[in-house]
């Protein structure tokens, strides 16, 4: 009887503990009079980095995480925030719902906020916990579906904005008119991740005179062959194809197109490109553009100079990647929120959420300043077109601009 009772009680206790993980927020006052929530002491502020360190999009994710970490290193070297060092609490989500839930449960009680949680899959997995625990979180799922989630903020232009602006840019470049229309195609994942991207392109095409949407094929996550999708685009005669794909699928689509003798102009969102694709797609990128919501490592602006200094100091062996820029910007937004919360003498989760409300973040020229507003809105409609350099790096071909088509689509959808 006892042999069965003891393990049963132990398991029961464990389950109870896990169910309670991170649920309650306790607070106390620091020696400096600042109210402190979970993960905050007189010396440190714990910020969660829930991202894909070893799963399917780990290459981009680890670069992004590094950008954020060197931002924290830079701030810590200058004294931190509120005299406290920012400590990244890194947890591997493997871009998997179950792993993300486990990572959140294991670390939530020790985190003041989440500085980044990557991907719709992960966000959907933890959004009930984030709401229940009153956990402020910045989402690297630049997808408008994320905006409406409680306590979740997207501090950069979404991929939909990048794609909509890309449609307008392509039309202008082609001199599209009703008489000489630009035939447009779009390819996305055929699920809740890809649907908003397709919707934004469809709306931008309808709003832009002279653009005719002729094909919108989709693929399933994990597909290994894109002959069907490319054949559809080719048969429809699409002159320009918008890519709402993940980087591996970008390689598959562009490579298959080349093999089938189809060479449209490609316009990708920033999430569809990674510098590592330059080698396998060598010779196929002459007419490939990336619409990016933020600048590149090649920009001559104070923000990029600071990032390069931080990388040289704290991660000298890191290979350059534009996702480091994205991570740096998330670091900027996190630091801005913490500074505001400190100013309000409230480093609790409620304090950070209050600080995020209407927070203005100056990205030092990397992208125009944003206003986080109520957290349910697109923070900026600006993006910029880039070509691909020899090593896969992005090279700007114009200035940041915000198209009316993107704004109209955002307004129509309540963003």
Partner 1 sequence: MTLFLQLGFQGVALGMVYALIALGFVIMTKGSNTFNFAHGEFVAVGAYVVVALMPHLPYWMAFIGSVVVTVTLALVAERLLLRRLVSASPTALILATLALAVIVHALVLVVWGVGTKGSAGPVGSGTVEIGDVVLTYSGIATIGTSILVLLALLVFFRWTSYGLALRATASHQEAAAAQGIDVGRMFALSWGIAAALAVVASIFLASFPRIVSPTIGLVALAAIPAVVIGGLDSFVGAVVGGLVVGLIQVLGAGYLTDYGGGRLHEVLPYVLMLVVLVLRPYGLFGSRGIERV
Strand partners, 292: 384
Stretch that binds partner 1, among 98-106, 221-229, 237-245, 351-359 (CB under 8 A): 221-229
Give the C-alpha separation, 263 to 260, whole Å: 9
Pick 273 or 415: Cβ nearer partner 1: 273
| Closest separation in Å from C-beta 92 to partner 1 | 10
Confirm if 194 and 218 have CB atoms less than 8 A apart. yes
Site string for partner 1, 272-291 (x = CB under 8 A): --x-xx-xxx----------
Among 217, 292, 293, 303, binds partner 1 (CB under 8 A): 217
268 in contact with partner 1 (CB under 8 A): no
| Closest separation in Å from C-beta 324 to partner 1 | 14
Tokens of 349: 């989760």
| Closest separation in Å from C-beta 233 to partner 1 | 12
Q: Segment 37-66, which members bind partner 1 (CB under 8 A)? A: 53-56, 58-59, 61-62
223 in contact with partner 1 (CB under 8 A): yes
Pick 186 or 254: Cβ nearer partner 1: 254
- Distance set, CA 259 to CA 136, 139, 221, 250, 254 (Å): 47, 37, 22, 14, 9
124 in contact with partner 1 (CB under 8 A): no
Pick 183 or 216: Cβ nearer partner 1: 216
Pick 198 or 348: Cβ nearer partner 1: 198
Among 15, 23, 228, 412, binds partner 1 (CB under 8 A): 228
Among 106, 260, 318, 396, binds partner 1 (CB under 8 A): 260
Give the C-alpha separation, 378 to 358, whole Å: 12
Among 210, 255, 320, 368, binds partner 1 (CB under 8 A): 255
Confirm if 166 and 196 have CB atoms less than 8 A apart. no
Pick 8 or 259: Cβ nearer partner 1: 259
| Closest separation in Å from C-beta 50 to partner 1 | 16
Nearby residues of 321 by Cβ (< 8 Å), 6 or more positions away:
60, 63, 274, 275
| Closest separation in Å from C-beta 266 to partner 1 | 13
390 in contact with partner 1 (CB under 8 A): no
186 in contact with partner 1 (CB under 8 A): no
Contacts with partner 1 by CB under 8 A: the residue count is 43
| Closest separation in Å from C-beta 385 to partner 1 | 24
Q: Please state whether beta strands 288-292 and 265-269 pair in parallel, antiparallel, or not at all (unpaired).
A: parallel
| Closest separation in Å from C-beta 332 to partner 1 | 25
| Closest separation in Å from C-beta 67 to partner 1 | 15
Pick 130 or 277: Cβ nearer partner 1: 277
202 in contact with partner 1 (CB under 8 A): no
Stretch that binds partner 1, among 219-227, 305-313, 346-354, 379-387 (CB under 8 A): 219-227
Q: List residues binding partner 1 (CB under 8 A).
A: 53-56, 58-59, 61-62, 190-191, 217-229, 231-232, 235, 247-248, 251-252, 254-256, 258-261, 274, 276-277, 279-281
């Amino acid at each position: 009887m006892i042999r069965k009772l003891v393990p049963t009680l132990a398991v029961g206790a464990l389950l109870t503990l896990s169910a309670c993980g991170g649920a309650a927020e306790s607070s106390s006052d620091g020696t400096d009079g600042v109210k402190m929530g979970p993960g905050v002491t007189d010396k440190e502020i714990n910020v969660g980095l829930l991202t894909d360190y070893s799963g399917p999009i780990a290459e981009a994710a680890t670069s992004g995480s590094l950008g954020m970490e060197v931002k924290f290193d830079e701030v810590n070297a200058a004294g931190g925030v509120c005299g406290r060092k920012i400590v990244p609490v890194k947890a591997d989500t493997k871009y998997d719902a179950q792993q993300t839930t486990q990572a959140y449960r294991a670390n939530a009680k020790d985190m003041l906020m989440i500085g980044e949680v990557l991907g719709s899959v992960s966000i959907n997995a933890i959004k009930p916990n984030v709401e229940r625990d009153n956990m402020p979180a910045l989402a690297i799922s630049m997808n408008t579906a994320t905006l409406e989630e409680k306590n979740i903020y997207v501090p950069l232009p979404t991929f939909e904005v990048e794609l909509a602006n890309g449609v307008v840019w392509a039309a202008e470049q082609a001199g599209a008119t009703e008489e000489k229309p630009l035939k447009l195609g779009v390819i996305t994942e055929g699920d809740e991740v890809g649907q908003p991207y397709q919707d934004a392109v469809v709306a931008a095409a309808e709003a832009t005179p002279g653009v005719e949407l002729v094909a919108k094929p989709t693929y399933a996550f994990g597909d290994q062959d894109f002959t069907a999708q490319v054949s559809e685009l080719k048969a429809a005669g699409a002159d320009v194809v918008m890519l709402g794909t993940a980087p591996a699928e970008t390689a598959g689509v562009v490579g298959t197109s080349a093999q089938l003798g189809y060479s449209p102009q490609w316009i990708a969102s920033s999430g569809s490109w990674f510098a590592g694709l330059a080698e396998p797609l060598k010779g196929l990128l002459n007419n490939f553009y990336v619409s990016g919501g933020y600048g590149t490592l090649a920009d001559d602006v104070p923000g990029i100079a600071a990032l390069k200094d931080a990388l040289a100091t704290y991660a000298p062996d890191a290979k350059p990647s534009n996702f480091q820029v994205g991570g740096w910007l998330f670091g900027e937004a996190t630091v801005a929120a913490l500074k505001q919360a400190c100013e309000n003498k409230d480093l609790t989760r409620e304090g950070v959420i209050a600080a995020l409300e209407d927070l203005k973040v100056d990205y030092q020229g990397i992208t125009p300043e944003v206003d986080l507003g109520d957290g349910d809105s697109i923070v900026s409609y600006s993006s910029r077109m880039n070509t691909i350099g020899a090593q896969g790096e992005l090279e700007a071909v114009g200035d940041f601009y915000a198209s009316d088509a993107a704004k109209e689509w955002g307004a129509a959808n309540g963003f």
